[in-house]
Structure 1
Amino acid sequence: MGSPLYLSISISLLNLLLLFFLVSSVRPLCHPDERSALLQFKESFVINNSASGSLDAHAKTESWKLERESGDCCSWDGVECDNGTGHVTGLNLGSSYLYGSIDSSSSLFHLVHLQRLNLADNVFKNSKVPSEVRNLSRLTSLNLSYSEFSGQIPSEILELSELQLLDLSGNSLKLRKTGLSSLLEKLTKLQVLYLTDVRISSSVPNILANFSSLKALILSNCDLRGEFPTGIFELPALQFLSLRSNPKLTGYLPDIQSNHPLLKLSLANTSFFGQMPESFGNFNFWRPIPPSLGNLKQLMTLDFSHNNFSGEIPSSLVNLTQLVYLSLATNHFDPGTISWLGTQINLSYLGLSNTRLAGTIPSALKNLTQITSLDLWSNRLEGQIPPWIGNLTKLTRIQFQENILSGPIPESIFKLENLELLYLHANQLNGILKLDSFLELKNLTRLQLSGNNLSLLNTVGINATAPKLKLLGLASCNLSEFPDFLRSQDELEFLELAGNNIHGQIPKWFLRVGKETLWYLNLGFNFLTRFEELPAVLPWTSLELFKLKSNMFQGPLPHPPPSIVDYVFSNNSLSGEIPPILCNLSFLVALDLSDNNLTGILPRCLVNLSDSLEVLNLRNNHFAGAIPSTYTKSCGLRMMDLSQNQLKGRVPRSLAHCTKLEFLNLGNNLINDTFPSWLGTLPELKVLILRANGLHGVIGKPQAKSEFSKLQVIDLSDNSLRGKLPSEYFSVWVAMKLANTTSLSPYMKANTSFKARGYSLSNNYPYVVTLANKDRDLNYENVPDSISAIDLSSNQFQGEIPEVIGNLKLIRMLNLSNNNITGHIPSSLGEITNLESLDLSRNKLSGQIPQQLANINFLEVFKVSYNNLEGPSWIPLIMIRTREIQDCVDTLCQKIVEILKSCSHHLL
């Protein structure tokens, strides 16, 4: 038995140990100064439920109170403290609905013990990143992403030398002054760097290849340039790499081993080049994807979209069984199939749009039971949509548009309860379907069936329950009336009913469809006559594009809402004048009222729209008076067509301010002016039509060699111009000599494409001209971008045809007929080898037709009648095409037909 002293010491030690454990288990309260700083920070913002986009967002600061139970700031939502010191070391306020501004005076920068700071997914109203961020020198993690910061990233951020994670993505920030090189030289401990959307505008420094601990590098849409360092691909810890949307960034992939930990690789929309490694095959980014790509078996995300890959899609992709996201969209692959698919059973997103896929939809796709989004649009897929598509029950998006799929839409599609988007437009699908079959898909928000051979039965009743649609495309679906279920569609944003058989009036109830949400409405190519009840202003308050082209609309032009951007009422029977309300449309980009019966003078205030207006088409109406004449230097017009009216006066000199103008057609009016040579200063002018007016005087000489440098089509026919042919202009019309190799379109047009509310639209307004070709006037609804034409016919030009005209080697139509031209036909015309139509008739030409004209291989029309020419024996007589010979041939042919008919009758 122990002594009392020993027992006393033992009990004392036990008490001390118990006291130690009790003290150590009690977390210290937060420091009052830090608690005060947090409360001040909270009070500098308001809570706005629209300030955060995450589904997990909640107002974390609402728990920050001084009550006894919650007075310890270390227990507040989003606040972390050190268990030993009680100092605030972590602040996670991501997705907290914070709305307001932040600057260097913020109490946030009093929390000098912070190691982790997350303010992502809030709204700081274009605040600058405060320079006082340098006070937080212990930070290892800083996340300011998607919170509406703007301006230059301050150099003080370089003082945060302990940073391991830096995320500044999704803001309007610039790194130009600080520089990516400086950032990397100072922040040497970085393991995660997210700079998506930050304007870097420089190359990627080689020093980044020394960051052996780097796990994630996301530099998407940073305006990166130069060659990407190959050593970065070899970093041993790198798992996530995205360089997407840097079209000026080049580089090539080095030899990457198959055991590399890479999980995500995105090089979409870049300009990589050069030899690829042996493990990727000896190819470059302008050649096939190598089969050895299948070695990266841990890869979960692969995005090579919007590049220039060619060849076949390698079957070795069958090895990438861990893929969750795969996009090879928009490349130049050889036409082929996707039979290699099916083993990627974890795949959630498949993007193979615009990859030249051919054949039928492969049955291997049925194995992708986790797929939610299937994008195969803009390919060459044919055959029917397979019924097993209904077994992929997790599908939320199907995009099969712009293929050559045929047959009926399978009934199994209507069993996809999770389906939100169904795009089947621009195929060859056929059959008769009930519209209510689609409306049974209760999660459906976007349905596009336009441009097929479908017939939709409108059997849905007025009181039927239908999903709330945002997009509905039913163009060319053989509808004969407006579907009644539209009465309940108050969230509709996009509605397309063009190309149907809808007759009569637009019903009064239709004006309530998407009244506050509708921004695109296309009712073109129907048989609509008027609104049942015409409102003072169209009621759709968000309407931006309204197309009612090619109907039978009568009466005055409906007044569009102030939000309108594109307003198209062409090819109807509208009457009356242009209402003054149009002059208040500050967002108007395109106004097309051509081919109607509109009258009156053009409002002078139309000029005020020219800052925003790019397309003005008032062709073929009955407008009179002068053309508005006060265009300013801010003019944005690209296309102006006022032809086939009764407009008088002069061509407005102020049009010289419209430096973006490509197409100007003032033909068939009553304009009384001299040749507007000052239009030669317009740097983009391609088409100039002034035919059938009262132009007079001589054309003269250009003042500079750059005048009319892009002119391809000029028509001055049927005027009263005199003097010599403009040989000096023939010398400077460069676009008629050298082919345009930069054009991205086969036709001349104004494109008013823009993105709005998640949609990308391409609104093309083709340049329409009437040219004398192939012995008759041809109406070109789509003018080929390769075309060049000169029509100076029916004037009073004198003198000889200059030899220099032979330098205009791209001309396909040349008409100098019905003038007073003398002298010989120049042999240089034989150098215009693309010439299809040459009309020199009704002049005073003499001498022999030059033998060099035999070099013109494409010449279909050659008219030299009513001259004093001598035709040499090598030219077929019929080629001269005099009216007398042509009449003789026509009469002879008619006689032969009559004889053959007679013989046939006797033989029977």
Structure 2
Amino acid sequence: MGSSLWEFFSVRYIILLLLINAACCFSFVQTQTLCHDDERSALLQFKASFTINKSASQDPFAYPKVAYWGRLEGDPPRSNCCSWDGVECSHDSGHVIGLDLASSYLHGSINSNSSLFQLVQLQRLDLSDNNFSYSQVPSRLGHDLTSLTYLNLSMSSFSGQIPSEISYLSKLSALDLSSTYKSHLKMTNFGSLVQNLTNIKQLHLSLVEIGSTVPNTLVNVSSLTSLRLQACNLEGQFPVGIFHLPNLQVLDLAYNSYLTGYFPEELNKSSPLKILILQSTNFSGHLPASIGDLPALNLLNIAFCRFYPHIPSSLSNLTQLNFLGLSSFFSNDGTLSGQVTDSWSWVGKLTRLNNLFLADTNLRGDFPCFLANLTQLVELDLHYNKITGEIPCFLANLKQLSILTLRQNQITGQIPSCLGQTHLTALDAGLNNLQGTIPRSLFELRNLEVFYLDSNNLSGYVEFDEFSKLGKLRGLDLSNNKFSVHIKTRFSGFPPKLQILGLGSCNLTEFPEFLKFSSELTYLDLYFNNLHGQIPKWMWNSAGETLLYLDLFHNHLTGFEENPVIIPWPRLIFLQLGSNMLRGSLPIPGPSMAVYFVSNNEYAGEIPATFCNAGDLYVLDLSSNNLNGMIPQCFENLRALKILKLQNNSFHGDIPRIGSNRCLNLEAIDLSYNQLQGKLPRSIANCSGLVFLNLGNNQISDTFPSWLGTLQQLKVLILRSNAFHGIIGKPASSHEFPELSIIDLSSNDFSSMLPSDYLENWNAMKSVDANEQIYIQYGITYGNFYYSYNYAITVFSKGGELKYFKTPYLLRVVDFSSNRFHGEIPGIIGNLRGLHLLNLSNNTLTGLIPSSLGNLSDLESLDLSQNHLSGKIPSDLAQLTFLAYFNVTHNRLSGSIPQGGQFDTFQEDMYQGNSGLCGKPLPKKCEESESTTPQTSSFEQDEDSGFQIELDWFVVLPGVVAGLIVGVVGGDFWTTKKHDWFIETFSRKRQPRGIRHKRGLRT
């Protein structure tokens, strides 16, 4: 019985196994034969419409998935499309339901006739990270593939308008159309898209040009788990309700500078939010304490926002945080409340942090000791703060630390040798006060890729071959120190992948010959050395295909070894050859050139008309050469031009109609010190962003260009020493020249009364704002390069010229001297309380000196000489404590000279030609009736003691006066020149460039 039962169950078991095996075999055979012929044919046609190009995908693990599709007709697995790489079929129907060709090296385009649209059962489509040749996203996606639940076309070089038909894909749970800066994808139907995608979980549209508000309907999409809208040019207010979505894990709104918003007061404690990125938006308000209650948050980046300067201590509760970005996140109205580094001790509790960005947060005091607790740190960015003291050795205990950025602080002392015990791949300590030599231990950092020590006080004798030990080095900058760098003859052992090299002001006498072997060099800075002779030909042979930036400023170069007609580096973006001895004809900039400097050389001849074929020039500086002829008319077609400097040459003829062909970008024009004639072209009024216009010292014959008053950004207008003439009438409105800070109409032939109506309009001169900007400057970004331009001007004061290589932002100047202005000085001029220089000399002004000039509390130079003014010098002027220069010679003034204050410092020759004046410093004493009691002291009654306390006037002696006019031009402009340059070198995607520092470690 037992044996029979066992045999029965054994047989049943064997039969069951056979049935299962048969079913599996049947299933396998069925799977292998599921492919539909029409879909197989469609896939092969789709494959045939592309070429395989390895440059089409950027993923290092990319491979050509379609390469073996249908290769072996006799092999069933090869001929069955369901077995092909990237193809997924339905087990029930055999139809193709999934196509994953991400990172497959596909190059070509998808047109409306593509066989892709025959796969009407598709549910998942991923074509990301390919190159579709900037073709448009086909509208048939929305018409024919309506079963799609997943669509990913990101980073695949589509361009143009995203078709509205995409919104027909109502079953989508994931949509990724994220673009690149080059693709220029646009979407105008964001609202209708969101309205139809009611089941969406992942919506990624980064770098798609949306240009609208975020629709409120997103607040109702409770299924949403990830929303990425980075750099979409969003505007308006972000719907605050999105923060309360129950399933939201990722919110990325970075780089939408016009997007406003704020945090809700209470955030959901059960929120699954893991990633929150608001970097470089216009979010404001305060950070609620409840932000510390988000239990899953591991990435928080609110850098470069406008939040109130207070950080809740509850952030220390975010123990899962591994990325924290607070760089420059505070409002422009204040600075961070924990300014001293000790106030940031709570950061030391976030022990899981991998990335910490505290750049530009006003950290001050000694190096933050709380960082010693963050043993998991991989990247630390503290640049642009006020950290003092020395670099501590506890950094050597942070064994994971790879990237360390300390740029632009006030760190002193020597570079500690203990840094040689770290595992750094990038060290940026530029723009500090470091001293001593480079420790030899740093040459043991064999993984070091980026090494920046520029703009410190480091000294010593540097044997350059030491750097050959750093075999992975890609970026090195030693510029602007006190080094003497010695490069051995025929030294060739430098790392072959070197891309960035800065050896400015390093006492070099020859071009480093090892550069012959640097085939990947993109940035070369050899400014302010002692390089002589010609630029060798091998310079453009070795790095000809890669060089983007070249600075040879202030050497002793005379030309090129072989004079090129066109600059020989085809990809060069930035070229600085200024302040050398270059001669001959101007080399023509290449098609990629954006910044072209050849100022202060000996170039001669005319500007070739082929300059206008040079592509998108942003900056053109040909100043201070021996150039002549006419400025080419085609200059009016340089649409991208932002800065045009042609001063100090011998150009003649009419000024081209600059601005006649789109002039939205132009910010500065300097054509001074030439021989230009004719009228000022009215087309300049089209340059709505113009800040600086200098046409001084030419032969321009025209009336006052009142039409320039429509330029709302214009700060500097210099028309000195031309043939401008006629009257200056009334402005067309009360909004003319609202930002004008410096106006120089001197040495022309204006013949009206002083333009009191214009003086009333010049609001920028009525007060001095609290702007942080030190100089009037403009920064342009081109690719990874940042260029900061400082405007240079010359003003006439103290009887001579004052040259500003950098025009102070707060400087206020009115110079109407040497014209034929007549009538009285309007009292309204006393409203221009921000004025530093007022020159009305050499006119035919009459009447009294208005006492309202005593309101100009910042005035440093006042010249009223060579007029017909009469009456007394107002005693109110004695209260101008900054007045360092005062000239009223050759008028008809009378009475006593005010005493006290700055008037005790003025010499006799400042009053000559006024026979009626008396009193010090003149030898003529005042009669009793003319004299007034000098106000040299005042008395206050001490109520407690009954005694009088004498308060002597504080007399400021010449040379002691502080201000913008006197002594402002001291110092060497060019020794600080490199502080105004910036280049991105360590390519990253997380952190934005900062415009106030020279170089960062990421894009």
Task: Identify if the C-alpha distance between structure 1 residues 355 and 175 changes in structure 2 by more than 3 Å, giving closer, same or farther.
Answer: farther
Percentage identity across aligned positions? Answer: 46
CA distance in 2, matches of 1:277, 1:730: 47
Q: Which amino acid aligns with 1:737?
A: K
Deviates more, 1:560-569 or 1:777-786: 560-569
Corresponding residue to 2:206 among 189, 192, 196:
196
Contact residue 466 and residue 485 of structure 1 kept, 8 A? no
Counterpart of 1:604 in structure 2 is 632
Residues 370 and 853 of structure 1: is their aligned pair in 2 closer, same or farther, counting only changes over 3 Å? same
* Shift in CA distance, 547/134, structure 1 to aligned 2, threshold 3 Å: same
Amino acid at match of 1:806: G
* CA drift at 1:458: 0.9
User: Pairwise CA RMSD of aligned residues?
Assistant: 3.6
> Equivalent residue for 1:341?
371
Taking a change above 3 Å as real, the CA distance of residues 298 and 183 of structure 1, as seen in their structure-2 partners, is: farther
Give the CA deviation at 1:634.
Answer: 2.6
The superposition leaves residues 254-298 of structure 1 with CA deviations (integer Å, 9 ceiling, x where unpaired) of 556888655433332233334444445799932233332222222
AA partner of residue 132 (structure 1): L
For residues 384-412 of structure 1, give each alpha carbon's deviation from its aligned partner in whole angstroms, at most 9, with x where no partner exists: 3332323333x332222223333222222
Moved more, 605-614 or 568-577: 605-614
Match of 2:782 among 747, 755, 768: 755
Structure 1 residue 823 displacement after superposition = 1.5
Task: Decide whether aligned partners of structure 1 residues 126 and 793 sit closer, same or farther in structure 2, where only a CA change above 3 A counts.
Answer: same
User: Are residues 1:296 and 2:318 paired?
Assistant: yes
SS at match of 2:66: helix
Give the Å deviation of 1:52.
Answer: 0.8
Query: What letter is aligned with 1:288?
Result: H
For 1:899, the equivalent position in structure 2 comes to: none
Give 2:280's aligned residue.
269
SS of residue paired to 2:514: helix
| Counterpart amino acid of residue 410 in structure 1 | P
Deviations 1:753-802 (A, max 9, x none): 2222xx231141x3322222244321222222222222222233322222
CA distance in 2, matches of 1:781, 1:521: 22
Match of 2:232 in 1: 222
Is it true that 1:495 corresponds to 2:493 in the alignment?
A: no
Match of 1:68 in 2: 74
Q: What is the SS of the residue equivalent to 1:735?
A: helix
Change (3 A) 1:796 1:68: same
- Check if 1:286 corresponds to 2:321: no
- The answer on 1:109 being equivalent to 2:138 is no
**Residues 340-375 of structure 1: CA distance to partner in whole angstroms, max 9, x if unpaired?**
224444433333333444433333322332333223
Note the 1:385-424 alignment, pairs <5 A: 385-393=415-423, 395-424=424-453
Task: Specify the alignment match of 1:167 in structure 2.
Answer: 176
1:904 corresponds to: none
In structure 1, what is the Cα distance between the partners aligned to 2:907 and 2:263?
62
TM-score, normalisation: structure 1:
0.88
Question: Is 1:267–1:304's contact at 8 Å kept on the other side of the alignment?
Answer: no
Mark the CA change 1:420 to 1:258 in structure 2 (over 3 Å): closer, same or farther: farther
Distance change in 2, residues 1:236/1:315 (3 Å): farther
1:317-396 equivalent positions in 2, closer than 5 A: 317-335=347-365, 337-393=367-423, 395-396=424-425
Rate the CA distance shift 1:725–1:139 in 2: closer, same or farther, 3 A: closer
Q: CA deviation at 1:645?
A: 3.1
SS state at 2:67 partner: helix
Structure 2 CA distance for aligned equivalents of residues 7 and 260 of structure 1: 56
Q: 1:56 aligns with which of 61, 72, 83?
A: 61
Q: Does 1:842 align with 2:866?
A: yes
> Structure 1 regions of 5+ residues with no counterpart?
892-908
Post-superposition Cα deviations, 1:48-77, rounded to whole Å, max 9, x if no partner, equal: 221111001111011211623201112111
Work out the CA distance in 2 between the residues paired with 1:740 and 1:416.
48
Q: Residue 755 of structure 1 aligns to which amino acid in structure 2?
A: Y
Task: Give distance in 2, aligned partners of 1:648 and 1:202.
Answer: 47
- Quick one: distance in 2 between partners of 1:867 and 1:660? 42
Query: Deviation at 1:650?
Result: 4.2
Corresponding residue SS for 1:249: strand
Cα distance in 2, alignment partners of residues 204 and 695 from structure 1: 53
Listed as ranges, the matches of 1:587-626 within 5 Å are 587-596=616-625, 598-605=626-633, 607-626=635-654
1:561-600 alignment, distance < 5 Å: 561-596=590-625, 598-600=626-628
1:825 aligns to 2:849 (yes or no): yes
Any idea what the Cα deviations from partners look like across 1:307-361, whole Å, max 9, x if unmatched?
2172336323333333333333343445563322244444333333334444333
In structure 2, the CA distance between the partners of 1:423 and 1:890, relative to structure 1 (3 Å rule), is farther
> 1:436–1:410: structure 2 CA closer, same or farther, 3 Å change rule?
same
Matched, 1:454 2:478: no
Letter in 1 for 2:22: L
- If the length of structure 2 is used for normalisation, what is the TM-score? 0.80
Q: Distance in 2 between matches of 1:451 and 1:405?
A: 12
Partner Cα separation in structure 1 for residue 213 and residue 606 of structure 2: 57
Which whole-Å deviations, capped at 9, do the CAs of 1:391-435 have from their partners, x for residues lacking one? 333x33222222333322222222222222222222222222111
611-620 vs 467-476, greater mean Cα deviation: 611-620
Shift, 1:143, TM fit: 1.9
How many residue pairs were aligned? 882
Structure 2 counterpart of 1:169, one-letter code: S
Instruction: Kindly state the Cα deviation for residue 441 of structure 1 after the two structures are TM-superposed.
Output: 1.9
2:239/2:261 contact within 8 Å kept: no
Q: Which moved more, 1:485-494 or 1:285-294?
A: 285-294
Q: Which amino acid aligns with 1:802?
A: P
The answer to whether the 8 A contact 2:500-2:523 is kept is yes
Q: For 2:44, give the aligned amino acid.
A: L
CA distance in 2, matches of 1:560, 1:705: 44
Of 123, 129, 133 in structure 2, the residue corresponding to residue 121 of structure 1 is 129
Is the partner of 2:869 in helix, strand or coil? strand
- 1:22 paired with 2:25, answer yes
Q: Does 1:88 align with 2:92?
A: no
Query: Does 2:337 match 1:311?
Result: yes
Shift of 1:16: 4.7
Q: Is the 8 A contact 1:588 1:609 kept in 2?
A: no
Secondary structure, counterpart of 1:447 in structure 2: strand
Write the letter of the residue equivalent to 2:47: K
Instruction: Please list the CA deviations of residues 32-56 of structure 1 after superposition, one character each: whole Å capped at 9, or x if unmatched.
Output: 2322222222222222221111001
- CA 256–400 in structure 1, closer or farther in 2 if over 3 Å, else same: farther
CA contact (8 A) 2:435 2:458 kept: yes
CA contact (8 A) 1:699 1:723 kept: yes
SS of the residue 2:830 aligns to: helix
Change over 3 Å in CA distance of 1:347–1:216 after alignment to 2: farther
Between the aligned partners of 1:465 and 1:734, the Cα distance in structure 2 is 58
The CA deviation at 1:621 is 2.9
Displacement of 1:673? 4.3
Kindly tell me: are residues 560 and 221 of structure 1, through their superposed partners in 2, closer, same or farther at Cα, counting changes over 3 Å? closer
Which whole-Å CA distance do the structure 2 matches of 1:345 and 1:27 have between them?
A: 56
Aligned to 2:37: 32
Check 1:52–1:859 CA distance in 2 against 1; reply closer, same or farther (3 A cut): same
Q: Supply the distance in 2 between the matched residues of 1:60 and 1:149 (Cα, whole angstroms).
A: 20
Q: Cα gap change, 1:212/1:335 in structure 2, threshold over 3 Å: closer, same or farther?
A: farther
Residue 155 of structure 2: which of 122, 126, 146 is its match?
A: 146
Per-residue CA deviation, residues 852-893 of structure 1 (Å, 9 max, x unaligned), is 3344332222222222212347545757755286899799xx
Q: Would you say the 8 A contact 1:866–1:882 is kept in 2?
A: no
- 1:177 corresponds in structure 2 to 189
1:474 aligns with 2:503: yes
Q: Does 1:868 align with 2:892?
A: yes
Matched residue type, 2:336: S
- Tell whether the 8 Å contact from 2:777 to 2:788 is kept in structure 1 after alignment: no
Q: Residue type matched to 2:87 in 1?
A: V
Q: CA deviation at 1:250?
A: 1.6
When residues 141 and 674 of structure 1 are mapped into structure 2, their CA distance, relative to the original with a 3 A threshold, is: closer
Q: Secondary structure at the match of 1:591?
A: strand
